[in-house]
Every structure is written in C-alpha cells, then in structure tokens.
Amino acid sequence: MEEKPVRLDPWASAVKLEYDKLFRYFGIKPFQEVLPRVSQVFGDPLHLMRRGVIFGHRDYDKILEAYKSGERVALVTGFMPSGKFHFGHKMVADQIIYYQKLGFEIFIVIADAEAYAVRKLDRKKVIEIGLYEYVANLIALGLEKNKHTHIYFQTNYEKPYYRLIQMFSRKITMAEMEAIYGDLEPGKVVAALTQAADILHPQLEYFGGFKYVVVPVGADQDPHIRFTRDIADRFENELGLRRPASTYHRFQTGLDGNKMSSSRPDYTIFLSDPVDVAVRKLKRALTGGRATVEEQRRLGGVPENCTIYEFYVYHLLQDDRELARIYSECKEGRLLCGPDKQYAAELLAKFLEEHQRRLEKARDRVLDYVEPPEF
Amino acid sequence: MEEKPVRLDPWASAVKLEYDKLFRYFGIKPFQEVLPRVSQVFGDPLHLMRRGVIFGHRDYDKILEAYKSGERVALVTGFMPSGKFHFGHKMVADQIIYYQKLGFEIFIVIADAEAYAVRKLDRKKVIEIGLYEYVANLIALGLEKNKHTHIYFQTNYEKPYYRLIQMFSRKITMAEMEAIYGDLEPGKVVAALTQAADILHPQLEYFGGFKYVVVPVGADQDPHIRFTRDIADRFENELGLRRPASTYHRFQTGLDGNKMSSSRPDYTIFLSDPVDVAVRKLKRALTGGRATVEEQRRLGGVPENCTIYEFYVYHLLQDDRELARIYSECKEGRLLCGPDKQYAAELLAKFLEEHQRRLEKARDRVLDYVEPPEF
C-alpha cells in the first residue's frame, strides 16, 4: 500500500483546504496551537477540540490565562429557535456543558426577537420551540441549573441589556453594517445590534461585572464576531467593554453530504426523532465507500468523506482509540459500510433512547431555567 | 380706517397660509371643528385650543367620545433632553397638565436614548438635563404625581416596551423609513422604532390594557405620527394596537421672529433664566410695530407679527378679554411697543419668580416621579 500510516488527524487536510483563508486573511488562529495549553489549564480538552472540529480561535489564549489566574470567565452562545434541535446544535451544547463543568459562567440567548423579526416566524411557535426544543435538550444533555447559568429570551431580559442596543446604535454606520449583512432592513439592523448586546452584556456591572468572554461559533459567524469586537473597542472607555474571544467549529454535514439543517429534515437527525426514524435516516447516509465491495476491500474507504464517520467524531464515540480503530479498518478496507452503519446505528439508538428519557423529564423543568416572554 | 373690525382670531390667517396643506394633503383636520365638542365634553378648553395655537388634529373626535363614555384615555408625549426647558416646552407642559386634570393617564418619555444615539450628546449630561430641567419644570408647572402618571427614560423602562421595538422592526421597510427620515444611520432606525414604541406601548396589557391615546405634537412631527399609525394598523391583529389620535400646535417663535430653540439662547426664554436676563431678552424682542411712533399711531401695530403678543397668547394672559383688549389697542395704534413690552415684562417677571420658587423645591422631588438609568 502506498498510503501513509494512519494517524488520528482525519480533518487536517479538509481544514486546510476549507478554512485556510480564515487563518490567512481574517486573523483567526489555528486552535491546535493552543491545544497543549488547554490540556495544561483545563485538563482534558473536549473531544471536539482534540479532533480538530474546533479548528480556530481569536484571543483564546486570553481566556486560558484568565482562567488560570482565577479571573472571571464566561461563555456566551445562542440558539435561533427556528426548528427542532438536531445534532449540529448538540455540538454547541457539548461545548456549553464542557465550560460549565470548568466553572465558566454561562449565558445562553434564545434569539426569539431575531426569529420573529428577521426570519418572520410565528412568535408563539418560536417561544414554544425555544423552551421545549432548545432549553429542554440542553437540560437533557446535562446543563446544570446554577446561579452562574443564565438562559434568556431576547424579548424578555433586563433593562441594561436593552440599553446597550440603544447605545450601540450610536457608534456604527450603515456602511459598516451593509458590509456584513448586505441589504439591510430595519429588522436586520436591530437584530445585529441585539446580537452585539447578547455577546457583550455579561461584562456590565449589572450582570456581575467584568469577565472574559468566549463565544463558540461556526466559521460563517466570524463577521458578527468582528463586528462585535469593533463595537467593544468603541465602548471600551465609556462602558469598560473588552473584545470577546471566540472559537470556530466546523459545521456538521447533513446525511447527504450537504448542510445539516432543520429545513432539510431527511438529512438531519433531530434529538427528538423516534429511534427508528433516526436509524432509517442514518442508514441512508452518504458514506466514503467505493463503488463496489471488491474495490472497497482493495482501496479502503474514505472516512474523510463519510457522514457516518463524522457522526462518530462529533458525537457517537468518546474514546479516541476506538475512533482510530474504525478509521484504520475503514482505510484498510477491512470495515465495510454495511456493518459500519449498523454499528453507528446501534450507538445512535442507545444514545437517543437514553437522551429521550431525560428529555421527557427535562421538558417539565424548562421553566426552572428560563422565564419565557408573556406575549 | 379701511381695516375690518377687530375680532379675536389673531392666528386665523397665519394658520391658513402656513398649515393649509396639512389639511389638504395629509388629512389633518382643523381643530376648530371639534372645539364646540371639547367644551361639551371636557368643559373649558385649554387656552391654546381656544386661541388656535392647537390648530389641527387626527381622530380627536374618538378621544372625546371615549372620554365621554367613560373609556380609558391617555396622553403620550416626550421631551428630547438636549437643552434647557424653555417656553416652547411649557406649551406642551400646559397640555399635559390640562389632560391630567381631566383624568387622562399620562405617559411622558424622556428621550435619552435618542439624545445619545442620534444627537450624540453626553449620556450623563442628558440624564441630568432630563431630571433637573424637564421633569423638575413639569412638576413646578403643576404635574401631579399619581398612579396614572408615568415618566420614564427610554433606556430605563420595562421589558414589554423593548419587546415592541424588536417586534416593530419586522413589519416596516427601509424604504418606508427613508421616506420619512431621509438618510438613515442605525441610530435613526432604532430611534424611530423606539418612538413608535413610546407612543403605542400604553395600549399593552402590561401597561394596564387598551386605552385611547392622544399625542400632542408640533406640525413638523406629523410624519412620525403617520408612521406610528401605520405600525399600529400592522399590529392590530397581533397585539390589539389601535391608531393614536394627535393634535398639532404651532411653534413658539423665537424673540427674533425665527425658531425658538435651546440652541439659540439669545432669542429663547428659559424657565430657569434669571428674571433680569429673561426681561432683557423680552425687551429686545421683535414686535409688530411700525417704523415710527407717528406711523404706529396712525396705522396701528401688527400683533400677528409680534413675538410679545405671541407670548401673551401662549403664556402670559389667561383672560381672553384682556388679550382682546391688548389686541384691539395695538391694532388701533393706542398701545405702543414700549409700554406693551413693559407690561409683558412685568407679567413674565411675576410668572418666573413664582415658577422658580416652585422649581427649586421641585428639583428635590424629581426622583419621586421618575427612576433615572444607572449608566
């Protein structure tokens, strides 16, 4: 065989190809550079960090140093309650819970204002989905309720948060916003300012005073991060705001190889999918298999192109050695797609069964975690 | 003499010339048409109504009918805390207090967000002026504290108010806003939506439920009223909002015949001006006098062009007969500008002395009326 010995760095080349320009042109830095320090400061890195799913960052070193020296640190993230909670969302949930266990303060926004004003969704539906899909799944995945964990709806929060939206509107121009958002409607203008307030408000005195903030986002969200960092700079003197740090993660691929999204339910596995439905979707998934069994035995599969393998990496396997074994066996043509899918389906079914038991209970507890808007 | 007998309708011609197109093209109706009904329903009309200073309205008949049949009614108005409180503001204050005495609920917004974001004023200064100029003068002029009177800063109010700003952003377009506001910056977009929330929020359940709302404004503010009425229409089903009624008042003229404005302090009398300063400004004021005393005795003065006479009409004289006497004597050349200014100065001095005594006490009470933002 002419291929190099297998190493557990399955995404390295893909990352290079796809995200290299983020490193080169936008100042995002490779996450692997801070990974050794993560181990020193936090202990075990999250599997998404180890496996290169989280591939980039801005100012993450500042978060590590702040944490190490006992300063206050917070994670801020949000969900658009526009559809059901799927495995792409779980990737964010895993990060939230990882940081919560480390002792980070947690701020989670349910972007109901944006869902209503920009996506033009029904408001009642949005609130319901926010509660019974997003918050409930976070709880079922292990989000603890504690005094440092704040979940809120954009339309049901505190005065100083809204004050920021008003104040931020002073120091940006339409041209700056158009460069990021393209054609602007009033809804988008308000949503962008609101998003900046979502990210920056935890630093205010009212919300407990200054803390270092990290925002985990998908790579496509970096313009928002840059926009918010600019606003932080402009309000550094007046409000004491500092730039947020950020990490960048790969998207989860849909089961047909395109985007995983609520709007493509056939290629997206929701955490509330009945187990048989989820398994059926998984079994139809695009793999990195060859045209014939004979060919696959001879050349090996291509796990880099396999949505099943991605599922192992992102969700189904915590153990790196087992992941490496599957990777090797696939590459070497010893593990074929049929049995592999069967194995993944078993892991998925097991996960979903347990999760859905927790989810059912979690749905009774959402109001302990968040106060929904009255209308 | 070729002139017609004097009648007490000093503004009729001016109103016609200046405001006719508001009636013709924009659907504003002459206030004098509802004036008899005002007397029937409210009793004595405010002097500004009787004298045509309030010259136009939209849907005021609905306010009268609602009041008559015991339904809930409210006045909404606001102040931009960008400079000191002057007699142009007093005209609005007189209306507020008139409606408060009738039992209207009162909502007064201090537009500190707009002052900061659009006018780009210093935030601390804006809050201070809001409290110690606007609120204090309103109290000194007679605004009572009661459970139906609400004064608030835009950056320090209740959740459902901010929710409206977010929601309104969905159902308007940039083109609609540009038609009213011209070139838009994010600050203006947010300010316009906020102003609509200022006017419409009193109808929400949270703020006590539906009430008929009237907004007294200067004629130049009608585009905002139309904009807000459009928004009300678009949220009639979803939020139960109804169009506000409005009244339109003439501007007070500056003492040089141009605009009265904080930015032109030499031609504007502030209610906190030391009496001698105020009197000195008044004595320099532009009058409707003739070139020579001889000419004035022969032709009479022109009270319609006289800023002193306007001061009588708007502020200094409550008694219509006395006003009519001065008007006649001026028209007939019997009252010259010197003695007339002297008389006005005496009335002004008397008013200011009493007012400033009350103002000093009122400044200690502003925090009973309104909660200022913390930052």
What are the start-end ranges of the H helices in A235-319? 236-239, 275-283, 293-299, 307-311
Mean pLDDT of A247-267: 93
Contact yes or no for A166 and B373 at CB 8 A: no
| Mutation for A interface: B162, B173, B206, B370, most A CBs within 10 A | B162
Mean pLDDT of B73-87: 97
Note the pLDDT of residue A17.
45
Res. A180 pLDDT band, cuts 50 70 90? confident
Q: Which of A162, A187, A374 sits opposite B169 (nearest CB)?
A: A187
The ipTM, to two decimals, is: 0.91
Q: Which residues does chain A have within 8 Å of residue B172's beta carbon, measured at their own beta carbons?
A: 186
Question: Is B20's pLDDT higher than 80?
Answer: no
Contact yes or no for A190 and B165 at CB 8 A: yes
In chain B, the N- to C-terminal Cα span, in Å, equals: 65
- Per-residue pLDDT reduced to its tens digit, A336-352: 999 999 999 999 999 99
Residue-averaged pLDDT of chain A: 93
Q: Which fold has domain B265-358?
A: Tyrosyl-Transfer RNA Synthetase (1.10.240)
Contact yes or no for B166 and A159 at CB 8 A: no
Question: Is B11's pLDDT higher than 50?
Answer: no
- CATH class of the domain defined by A12-251: alpha beta
Q: Looking at chain B, which residues constitute the CATH 3.40.50.620 domain(s)?
A: 12-251
Res. B353 pLDDT band, cuts 50 70 90? very high
Distance CA A76, CA A70 (A): 19
Contact yes or no for B190 and A194 at CB 8 A: no
- Per-residue pLDDT reduced to its tens digit, B354-365: 999 999 999 999
Contact yes or no for B117 and A191 at CB 8 A: no
CA torsion angle B366 B367 B373 B375 (round to 10): 90
Note the pLDDT of residue B65.
98
Q: How far is A198 from chain B (nearest CA, A)?
A: 14
Res. B21 pLDDT band, cuts 50 70 90? confident
Note the pLDDT of residue A169.
98
Q: Looking at chain A, which residues constitute the CATH 1.10.240.10 domain(s)?
A: 265-358
Structure tokens at A189: 């203008």
How much of chain B exceeds pLDDT 70, in percent? 95
Q: How far is B244 from chain A (nearest CA, A)?
A: 22
Note the pLDDT of residue A18.
61
The size of the A-B interface in CB pairs under 8 A is: 111
Residue-averaged pLDDT of chain B: 93
Res. B23 pLDDT band, cuts 50 70 90? confident
Q: Which of B169, B239, B374 sits opposite A186 (nearest CB)?
A: B169
| Mutation for B interface: A166, A176, A195, most B CBs within 10 A | A166
Q: Which residues, at least 6 apart from A253, have a Cβ–Cβ distance to it below 8 Å? A: A259, A260, A307, A310
Note the pLDDT of residue B18.
61
Note the pLDDT of residue A24.
78
How much of chain A exceeds pLDDT 90, in percent? 89
Contact yes or no for B190 and A173 at CB 8 A: no
Mean pLDDT of A96-118: 98
- Please state whether beta strands A245-249 and A105-110 pair in parallel, antiparallel, or not at all (unpaired): unpaired
Q: Which of B160, B185, B375 sits opposite A173 (nearest CB)?
A: B185
* Residue A326: Cβ within 10 Å count: 21
Res. B4 pLDDT band, cuts 50 70 90? very low
Q: Which residues does chain A have within 8 Å of residue B160's beta carbon, measured at their own beta carbons?
A: 374-375
- Per-residue pLDDT reduced to its tens digit, A303-336: 999 999 999 999 999 999 999 999 999 999 999 9
- Per-residue pLDDT reduced to its tens digit, A12-42: 334 444 677 778 778 899 999 999 999 999 9
Note the pLDDT of residue B153.
98
Note the pLDDT of residue A131.
98
Q: How far is A365 from chain B (nearest CA, A)?
A: 24
Q: How far is B166 from chain A (nearest CA, A)?
A: 6
- Name residue, tokens 């929400």: B204
